[in-house]
Structure 1
Amino acid sequence: MNSQFTVTFLGTGTSQGVPVIGSDHPVCKSNDPKDKRLRVSVLLQWNNYNYVIDCGPDFRYQMLREGVTHLNGILLTHEHSDHTAGIDDIRPFYFKQGNIPFYAHKRVFKSLHDRFAYIFEIENKYPGAPTLDEIEIDKDTSFIISEKKVTPIEAMHHTLPVLGFYIDGFTYLTDVKTIAEEEVEKIKDTKVLVVNALREKEHYSHFNLEEALAFIEKINPERAYLTHISHLMGFHEEASKQLPDNVFMAYDTLKITI
């Protein structure tokens, strides 16, 4: 049985976050909290279940800020550091709960084994290292998390395949530049769409604003939210005024109900 769930935007920024270290750009010096963007991630909550999509370098602070005390699993879109570098900070959950389920493509797990070898060590593993339950997923097979069906959606991040997720009329896509028509078909009945929009100027591996808005128009959801936003998009308040009535600039800590 489907039940309502809450989506909290843990982070809505790019790989560098906003403000960017050392930048004199006006947005990076903004006093508006909505112009402060941690690395991109969302928290999904229903019936006392907590799932996070992506586990970037701001994961520890994001969990503390939202008061998350238990974690049922983490879904990974792809292996880039702004989506995976916080993996070691699952330790408090691991110490309390045991192994933490991770859902990711086989290629992503291979990358994590290379980069976090101490976590995946079998012999002589350091006692303080966390342990992941590796659950391999791909674009062709749906899976269940705590009574909800998840359909993976493949998109291309330049030449790298990444996965988005469709759950109960909610679609989450980030780091998308192109997406095949057969994948679009999976999300045609989306009611709430979250999609990346890096900036106004075109980019080689991300939707710019024009591309994101065209994709939203194609899917035609009731509501859409832009994420993975760089400082080059401009001030949150000003950029928001330029959007269609059903499209919103997401910001860190924003909560929506699906």
Structure 2
Amino acid sequence: MSQKKQLKITFLGTATSTGVPMISSKNPVRYSEDKRDKRLRASVVISWDDNNYVIDCGPDFRQQMLRANIESIKAILFTHEHADHIAGFDEIRPYYYQMGPVPIYSDERVLRALERRYEYIFTTENRYPSAPAVDPTVISHNDVLTFDGVEVTPIKVMHGDLPILGYRFGDVAYLTDVKYIPEEEKEKLKGLDILITTALRKESHKTHANLEEALELVNELKPKRAYFTHISELLGFHAEIEKDLPENVFLAYDELEVTV
């Protein structure tokens, strides 16, 4: 049995793939002066005992890590291979210079995608001198891991028709790009202190849960608290949406820190 640890969740980014505001957008959210309406691509770091575990490294990774002052990491866990979740992969170089090959965790499909897109990181021949290196571990939703005394369980969720991974760290679950969750995987999500999940917009979407579906999931799983992420500007202004949410449900925003 893993010892209960105090976890800190830092939201590095809370936006959908285009970021908020989106380039050339005329949506009113673009002109908001509320910093909570300025969102980088979705990612979190989960920390305890000076250990930092990052989930996803999208195109804003460098900016996010500087902003959050994350000087060291233990590993990166990947949810899936879409660009808004992996496009900052080369920015792991400073961590590689510090620690050597950076541990990464993903399923087989995502690892193959990383190898194709970042061949120079994985090659063992004629390596570019400043290229980073990684120490990959292939995982699946059937695994249970332990990182520095915390049990970590991969969760299979469906991003439309694409199976991807969410992660439960202790009693905190991070599930991004969710449309629905297989019933057998919901069993892994009982008794949560914190559920973090997708609420893309108000209207229905083929591959992401909308606000109504996210609230239905919270009502079904009954975590103590829930935070919504992977948000589009089409959801609306942060302040207006949050005031109508249940008292234990919140919109996440960039740089928000939550401890449990």
Q: TM-score range by the shorter chain?
A: over 0.9
Match of 2:68 in 1: 66
How far did residue 29 of structure 1 move?
1.6
**Amino acid across the alignment from 1:92:** P
SS in 2 for 1:60: helix
CA separation in 1, counterparts of 2:250 and 2:180?
A: 21
**Amino acid across the alignment from 1:229:** I
How far did residue 34 of structure 1 move?
0.3
CA separation in 1, counterparts of 2:243 and 2:153?
A: 33
SS in 2 for 1:114: helix
Structural mapping, 1:213-228, within 5 Å: 213-228=215-230
Match of 2:154 in 1: 152
CA separation in 2, counterparts of 1:100 and 1:29?
A: 39
1:19 pairs with one of 18, 21, 28: 21
Match of 2:107 in 1: 105
How far did residue 206 of structure 1 move?
0.2
Match of 2:79 in 1: 77
**Amino acid across the alignment from 1:95:** Y
* 5+ long unaligned stretches in structure 2: none
Residue 8 (str. 1) matches residue 10 (str. 2): yes
CA separation in 2, counterparts of 1:144 and 1:28?
A: 41
Identity %: 51
2:120 pairs with one of 109, 115, 118: 118
How far did residue 146 of structure 1 move?
1.7
SS in 1 for 2:135: strand
Structural mapping, 1:232-243, within 5 Å: 232-243=234-245
| 1:139-197 CA-partner distances (Å, limit 9, x unpaired) | 00111112211011001101111101111111110101111110001111111100000
* 5+ long unaligned stretches in structure 1: none
CA separation in 2, counterparts of 1:141 and 1:122?
A: 28
Q: TM-score, normalised by structure 2?
A: 0.98
Match of 1:47 in 2: 49
1:180 pairs with one of 179, 182, 185: 182
Match of 2:212 in 1: 210
**Amino acid across the alignment from 1:180:** P
Match of 1:245 in 2: 247
CA separation in 2, counterparts of 1:84 and 1:242?
A: 33
CA separation in 1, counterparts of 2:98 and 2:142?
A: 34
How far did residue 3 of structure 1 move?
1.2
CA separation in 2, counterparts of 1:200 and 1:73?
A: 34
Over 3 Å off, 4+ runs: none
Q: Count residues with an aligned counterpart.
A: 258
**Amino acid across the alignment from 1:65:** R
Q: TM-score, normalised by structure 1?
A: 0.99
SS in 1 for 2:63: helix
How far did residue 199 of structure 1 move?
0.2
